[in-house]
Amino acid sequence: MNTWSAYAGIVTTVVILAGAPAQAGWFSDDTPSTPTASSQTLDQIRQAFEDQRYVDAGQLLDRALMISGTDPQLLYWAAELNLARGRYQDALNGFKALDKDSKVEAEALEGEGLTLAQLGRTEEAFAVLKSSVAKNSAAWRAWNALGSQYDRRHDWGNAEDAYGRALAASGSAAIVLNNRGFSRLSQHHLDDAISDFVAALEKKPDFTAARNNLRLAIAMKGDYNKAVSGASSTDRALVLNNAGYAAMLRGDYTMAKDLFGQAMKAKGEYYAIAAANLETAQNLARGRDDSKEQEHASH
C-alpha cells in the first residue's frame, strides 16, 4: 500500500532568510575597482524573495550583476532565484561554486542541501544539510529540511528536534509547523498534529497543504463529516480521497469505499488515485471477510 504522505502533500516551498540591514547607495565605494552590492541593494533583493516577488528579484539581480557580476552575495541570490523557479541543476551549480566562499559559505551550503533534496538526492542532501547547520545553527530552512530527512528514516526523535530548532530560529514559520504536524501525524500523534496544523493556518490562513493535512488528521480520528465539511469544489475530490484513505488506514473499509466513490464523482473525470485506492479498499475488505470465514470454519 502506498504511504499516505503521497496524498497529503508536504510542502517544500522555498522561504528566504532575512539578512543584512540596509544602508544608502546602490553599491559601496570601499573597493571601486571591483564594486560590491550595497546593503540596500541586497536588502531590496531579500525583501523581494520574502514577498515571493521573483520577477522583481530577477530584475534587481540583473541590474546589480551588470555592475558587480563577481560579488558572491549576488551570485548566492542568483542561485536562490534558480531554486525558487525550480531550475534545480542551475541552482545546484551556483551554490556549489560558493560553498567554500567565506562570505556566503553557510548560506550556500543551506541552499545546496535544499536543492539536493528537491532533486531527490537524499543521502547527499542529508550530509550537506548537517554541514549547513553546523556552520549556522540558525539556518532554519536547513533544520526544516533535515526534519523531513529524519522523517524519511522514521528517526522521530531527531525529526522532532530538527523541527523544534527550525521553529525557534524562524519565529514559528507556518511551513515548519505544517511539516512537524505531518511528522506527528505519521506517528499517529493526532492531537499534536492537529495543533500544529491549526497553528500553521493561524500564521498563514491560505496555506492549502496545512488545511488539507488538518482535514486528514481529523479524518484519522474518525470524524469524516467534519474532515470534508466546507471543502471547495476545486479541492473537494482531493479532500474526499484523503478522508477515504484515512478510513482505510483505520480499517473502516465500508466508509473508505464510499468516500473514494464520492471523490471520483466530485472529480468529474477519471481520478486514478481514488480509483486505485478504491480497489485497495475492496481487496482489503475482501481479505478481511475471507479471514473471518476461515476463522468461523475452523470452529
Question: Would the CA dihedral through 85, 90, 96, 98 be positive or negative?
Answer: negative
Higher pLDDT: 297 or 15? It is 297
* Consecutive H or E run containing 191: helix 190-203
pLDDT at 59 over 60: yes
In whole angstroms, what is the distance from residue 286 CA to residue 271 CA?
A: 23
Q: Which residues contact 57 (CB under 8 A, 6 or more apart)?
A: 45, 48, 49, 77, 81
- The whole-number pLDDT of residue 191 equals 97
In whole angstroms, what is the distance from residue 182 CA to residue 109 CA?
A: 26
The torsion of the CA quartet 279, 211, 215, 185, rounded to 10 degrees, works out to 90
- The whole-number pLDDT of residue 11 equals 36
Q: Which three cell numbers, joined as nine digits, stand for 135?
A: 556552520
Query: How confident is the model over 201-260, as pLDDT tens digits?
Result: 999 999 999 999 999 999 999 999 999 999 999 999 999 999 999 999 999 999 999 999
pLDDT at 134 over 90: yes
- The whole-number pLDDT of residue 37 equals 82
Q: Mean of the pLDDT values across residues 21-41?
A: 53
Q: Which three cell numbers, joined as nine digits, stand for 270?
A: 477519471
- The whole-number pLDDT of residue 288 equals 79
pLDDT at 183 over 60: yes
Is residue 97 classed exposed, middle or buried when 0-12, 13-18 and 19+ CB atoms within 10 A define those classes? Answer: middle
In whole angstroms, what is the distance from residue 63 CA to residue 69 CA?
A: 10
